[in-house]
């Protein structure tokens, strides 16, 4: 790769040779100061695809015109709606179509997966997770161990970075797994850490867990649609993610789950059941006795939230068109360019995201000026995000961010005057 140059012209040449640059036109951008914003918060809420409204209108129209008959005679019959999203979803996470289903919301799904895969025994009841996980995941783990009668402080083993470091070393994760193997029931990690942006070695963690008879699950909220995943090949037991971050499904949008195919037909695995997870061919016989549908679909509870899923599907189609590997490839260059312009700026910013094990997000640890720098970006048309106590996160998304965007970020950073020179 040619070395980066910190000029507008250079950023434009990168855009000119970017085969994905056209996807930018397929999204709505928020307007700041009368201009489309430079949007770096696709890690928090992805932008709206222009096709989302059309997809939504289709379902609204079928509802208007068909009422309940839309379940059978709609353009996309609602009865089978979840299936319309399975192949695209599988492409994104590296799964077989029957290993995934879109349903509910993320934290709900996390609990449902825990019902099936966190099966503590008096000897093996602990959960190993990263320290500083997203609060919802911490609360889910805490309430799950309590639900089974254990004390969180005893039952949850958190792995923290070494003193003076910001991210975890895989060797340390593997050492903790080894050390606590006999008492651990579940390893539960994020795929990409929401605060630091670290991408964990899902394959190695899974292999280490399985070597000790431990179930291994991942929360991919910040990984799905961000990094290339191969959940099936990596043998992950289960995973969950939300649709509204990199996957652009809209606020509170639907979530996805992955359950490895080895559990597809396993009736011994306990689960919380609902009618939509019942064997499809017999669902409307309304008989007693739950028989799960094959694969991840057998974990569904309720009939599909079609309006939310229609929006999600519009975005999934863009992912199909672009392809995850092309997106991941562009993403690496885009984020490397962001790192370059940040390092070129005269603000002495400290990027705590690992240089290699990462997705598109960079987390920048700031000093006294952090909040002001963040406000300065906002005043200059750049939407980044602020995480207490002192981190600015920027996530250039390959579907809709350009190299020119990144050049401008560097330029705006350079127009900020530091309050303290003791930086």
Ligand X SMILES: *Cc1c(COP(=O)(O)O)cnc(C)c1O
- Of all helices (H) and strands (E), which one includes residue 240? strand 238-242
Q: Report in angstroms how near the CB of residue 339 gets to ligand X at its nearest.
A: 22
Q: Which residues neighbour 137 within 8 Å (Cβ) at sequence distance 6 or greater?
A: 107, 110, 129, 188, 190, 219
CB of 247 to ligand X, least distance (A): 11
Interface pattern 55-94 for ligand X (x via CB under 6 A): ----------------------------------------
Q: Which stretch binds ligand X (CB under 6 A): 131-139, 288-296, 320-328, 401-409?
A: 131-139
The dihedral of CA 89, 94, 98, 101: what is its sign?
Answer: negative
* Minimum distance of ligand X from residue 33's CB (angstroms): 28
Of 52, 43, 6, 22, residue with least CA distance to 397 = 43
**Contact status: 134 vs ligand X (CB under 6 A):** yes
Least distance to ligand X, CB of residue 306, Å: 19
Residues between 341 and 370 with contacts to ligand X, criterion CB under 6 A: none
Cβ atoms of 357 and 344 within 8 Å: the answer is no
221 touches ligand X (CB under 6 A): yes
| Virtual torsion, Cα 54, 59, 63, 65, nearest 10 deg | 50
417 exposure class (CB count in 10 Å sphere: 0-12, 13-18, 19+): exposed
407 counts as binding ligand X under rule CB under 6 A: no
By CB under 6 A, tell whether 106 contacts ligand X.
yes
Minimum Å distance from CB 256 to ligand X?
Answer: 11
Closest approach of Cβ 412 to ligand X, in Å?
A: 27
Contact pick of 59, 62, 137, 405 for ligand X (by CB under 6 A): 137
227 binds ligand X (CB under 6 A): no
Binding residue for ligand X (CB under 6 A) from 81, 194, 238, 337?
Answer: 194
Binding residue (CB under 6 A) for ligand X from 76, 86, 144, 190: 190
Q: Are 398 and 360 contacting, i.e. CB atoms less than 8 angstroms apart?
A: yes
Strands (E) across 255-402 are located at: 255-259, 350-351, 362-365, 382-383, 385-387, 391-394
Report in angstroms how near the CB of residue 188 gets to ligand X at its nearest.
10
What is the rounded distance in angstroms from the CA atom of residue 95 to the CA atom of residue 221?
16
Closer CB to ligand X, residue 254 or residue 364? 254
Query: What order of strands is seen across the sheet that includes strand 391-394?
Result: 350-351, 362-365, 391-394, 385-387
Kindly list the residues in this chain that would bind ligand X in the complex (CB under 6 A): 105-107, 134, 136-137, 190, 194, 219, 221-222, 242
């Amino acid at each position: 790769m040619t070395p980066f140059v910190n000029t507008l012209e250079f950023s434009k040449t990168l855009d000119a040779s970017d085969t994905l640059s056209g996807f930018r036109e397929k999204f709505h951008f928020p307007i700041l100061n009368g201009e489309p914003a430079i949007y770096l918060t696709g890690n928090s809420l992805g932008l709206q695809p222009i096709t989302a409204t059309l997809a939504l209108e289709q379902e609204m129209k079928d509802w208007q015109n068909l009422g309940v008959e839309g379940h059978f005679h709609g353009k996309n019959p609602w009865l089978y709606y979840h299936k319309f999203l399975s192949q695209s979803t599988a492409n994104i996470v590296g799964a077989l179509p029957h290993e995934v289903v879109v349903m509910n919301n993320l934290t709900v799904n996390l609990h449902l997966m825990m019902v099936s895969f966190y099966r503590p025994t008096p000897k093996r009841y602990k959960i190993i997770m990263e320290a500083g996980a997203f609060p919802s995941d911490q609360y889910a783990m805490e309430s799950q161990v309590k639900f089974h009668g254990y004390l969180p402080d005893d039952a949850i083993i958190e792995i923290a970075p070494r003193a003076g470091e910001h991210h975890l070393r895989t060797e340390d994760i593997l050492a903790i797994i080894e050390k606590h193997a006999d008492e651990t029931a579940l390893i539960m990690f994020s795929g990409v850490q929401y605060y630091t942006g670290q991408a964990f070695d899902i394959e190695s963690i899974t292999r280490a867990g399985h070597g000790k008879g431990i179930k291994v699950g991942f929360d991919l909220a910040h990984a799905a649609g961000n990094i290339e995943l191969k959940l099936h090949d990596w043998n992950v037991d289960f995973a969950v993610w939300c649709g509204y971050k990199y996957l652009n499904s809209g606020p509170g949008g639907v979530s996805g789950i992955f359950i490895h195919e080895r559990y597809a037909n396993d009736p011994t695995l306990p689960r919380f059941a609902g009618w939509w997870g019942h064997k499809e061919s017999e669902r409307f016989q309304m008989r007693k006795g739950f028989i799960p549908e094959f694969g991840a679909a057998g974990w569904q509870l309720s009939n599909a939230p079609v309006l939310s899923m229609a929006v999600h599907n519009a975005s999934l189609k863009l992912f199909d068109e672009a392809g995850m590997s092309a997106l991941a490839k562009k993403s690496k260059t885009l984020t490397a360019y962001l790192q370059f312009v940040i390092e070129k700026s005269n603000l002495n910013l400290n990027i705590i995201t690992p240089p290699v094990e990462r997705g598109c997000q960079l987390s920048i640890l700031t000093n006294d000026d952090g909040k002001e720098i963040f406000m300065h970006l906002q005043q200059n048309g750049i939407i980044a995000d602020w995480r207490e106590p002192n981190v600015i996160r920027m996530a250039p998304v390959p579907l809709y961010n350009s190299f020119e965007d990144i050049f401008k970020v560097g330029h705006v950073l350079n127009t900020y005057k530091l309050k303290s020179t003791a930086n």
